[in-house]
A and B are shown apart, each in its own frame.
Chain A
């Protein structure tokens, strides 16, 4: 199962992981080897089973619509790489999903 350079770059972008040009070859091989494992599943007859989404056959529990969390901004922002006026700073965002 071989991955093309183009496919690998697309996957890397989807996963937002930069892959340097000189690592491409090695990574392609490693991933190709792992992908070969997948071929074994083609032989399995799964016509009579449903996909297992959970090992448990139970129903989702719910919680009451109550506010249980108080303002913990200071605590929670202690680990933030860059904060100003209570906001997490990132390089400028161009208009997007909102």
Chain B
């Protein structure tokens, strides 16, 4: 399947709509809470009653400025709104207030890494606009029901330059944006719930061609995985079409995750002339330098900086730092565990190993971890001070995960302390050697492999609690005799 890459190149641009997590809407004071009964969060402005007017939510400016800084972009001042005219039942005014000429954020970039290769992807612009309502189709006997709760929710649309060339790069870019918006706490970036939506513009051209091919826009991709699959499919479909002598139709397509295909949207595409013009009900927004600087000063440490700091401060490997810094919650968790345990490397291992496995198994977020950062830190302390072995610690971890409880309490209750008493271990070893005279002779005769057998027997006898290092040392000595 990747043969096609020999002759063809894909050109991909992503348009990401980020739903901003403000309390109220972009232009009205209605709530943006998820899950309310239909039309209970749609006030007269959201309903586009005759005579209503929009008033701008200041929080969105702050959010956009932070995003702009995180994307190394220019913050435009003045910035202004425009009307994007189109008719649809979930668009109450018959136009969407968006931005045309002077978007608030422009000309930025993002660095991504795919399989060790770094690449810079340009961000053309990020602009503010209002979300539309929703149409519900079931239960209405041939009609649709319009819910305008979502209408007017603030969105930030982030448009990349068409500098992405593979589905993998697209996903890396998407994950990066996701990470940034969550770090900035401007959105919860939940693709499944729709607070982050991705549309992919895809075209192909023969390698060496200067001109861009005709592109299609693919919508309705609501996970990282689907983005990769949808783009992959679309690239292959377009190459196939072109190699068969057909032309690519410029159209909007929907991704069907069941069949893993894209297909053209059924609705009338013609006449998408949006007739943009400056919004007369809103004045241009002048962003003073003081205001911008103040907003930027409230920004948290961004993933890139955090990554660098994890490497320098905690001596983590590049790989570990990457993984831990990607998600802010995970990064915070790691730092909390490290602080408690005093052991960053071990903390990293436990988080990326046992903890991640457990979270994945149960489809949970780090925020829902059934073992707190404090407890995990304490567990690591107990490994380091020899109270329990690393292996036993896994048991303790599991027990706490399932039934809660404190670290020390669990160790004691289950009697899981390591046996470190020299005499105790010695006596156990003596017993084992005595009970296995044949193996003893064989070992003395040169069968070194049997050492493991003896270790196993001792561990069994001690129910796994004997300190492995001491067992090793004492056993070695005793077996020689």
A residues touching B (Cβ–Cβ < 8 Å)? 10, 13-14, 16, 53-54, 56, 58-69, 71-73, 76-77, 82, 84-98
Contact = CB atoms under 8 A, between A and B. Distances in A.
Contacts of B284: 53-54, 59-60
B5 interface: no
Contacts of A93: 88-90, 135, 137, 144
Describe A's contact surface by its main secondary structure: loop
A71 B31 CA distance: 9
B151 to A, nearest CB: 11
Contacts of A77: 39
A96 B275 contact: no
A95 B23 CA distance: 29
A63 B55 contact: yes
Contacts of A94: 266-267
B24 A67 contact: yes
Contact of A76 (B47, B90, B144): B47
A39 to B, nearest CB: 21
Contacts of A67: 23-24, 29-31
A60 B26 CA distance: 14
Contact of A88 (B31, B78, B80, B89): B89
A92 B44 contact: no
Nearest to B46: A69
A91 B267 contact: no
Describe B's contact surface by its main secondary structure: loop
Contact of B286 (A56, A59, A64, A89): A59
A56 to B, nearest CB: 7
A21 B300 CA distance: 63
A69 B38 contact: no
A89 B254 CA distance: 25
A97 B28 contact: no
B418 to A, nearest CB: 55
Interface string B31-52: 1000001111111100101000
B145 A85 contact: yes
B298 to A, nearest CB: 14
Interface in B33-87: 37-44, 47, 49, 55-59, 61, 78, 80, 86-87
B146 interface: yes
Contact of A66 (B23, B38, B90, B143): B23
Interface of B: 22-24, 28-31, 37-44, 47, 49, 55-59, 61, 78, 80, 86-91, 132, 134-137, 140, 142-148, 254, 265-267, 271, 273, 275, 278, 280, 282-286
Given A53-B278, A62-B56, A77-B39, 8 more contacts: A14-B271, A53-B280, A62-B61, A63-B57, A67-B24, A86-B37, A90-B135, A93-B89
A86 B148 CA distance: 10
Given A87-B39, A96-B267, A65 B24 contact: yes
Contacts, number: 145
B40 A89 contact: no
A84 B139 CA distance: 10
A61 B23 contact: no
A14 B136 CA distance: 25
Given A59-B285, A60-B282, A69-B31, A88 B145 contact: yes
Nearest to A52: B278
B196 to A, nearest CB: 14
A93 B265 CA distance: 13
Contacts of B89: 88, 90, 93
Contacts of B41: 69, 71
B24 A54 contact: no
A28 B270 CA distance: 22
Interface centre among B39, B43, B57, by most A CB within 10 Å?
Answer: B39
Contacts of A88: 39, 89, 145-146, 148
Contact of A13 (B143, B144, B145, B271): B271
B144 A91 contact: yes
Interface centre among A76, A88, A89, by most B CB within 10 Å?
Answer: A88
29 contacts: A16-B87, A53-B284, A54-B280, A59-B283, A60-B284, A61-B55, A62-B55, A63-B55, A63-B57, A68-B29, A69-B29, A71-B40, A71-B41, A72-B43, A72-B44, A73-B39, A73-B42, A76-B39, A76-B49, A86-B39, A88-B145, A90-B143, A95-B265, A96-B135, A96-B265, A97-B86, A97-B90, A97-B132, A98-B135
Contacts of B57: 62-63, 65
Contacts of A71: 40-41
A89 B283 contact: no
Given A69-B30, A90-B89, A85 B38 contact: yes
Nearest to B286: A59
A55 B267 CA distance: 40
A60 B53 CA distance: 13
A78 B39 CA distance: 13
B146 A92 contact: no
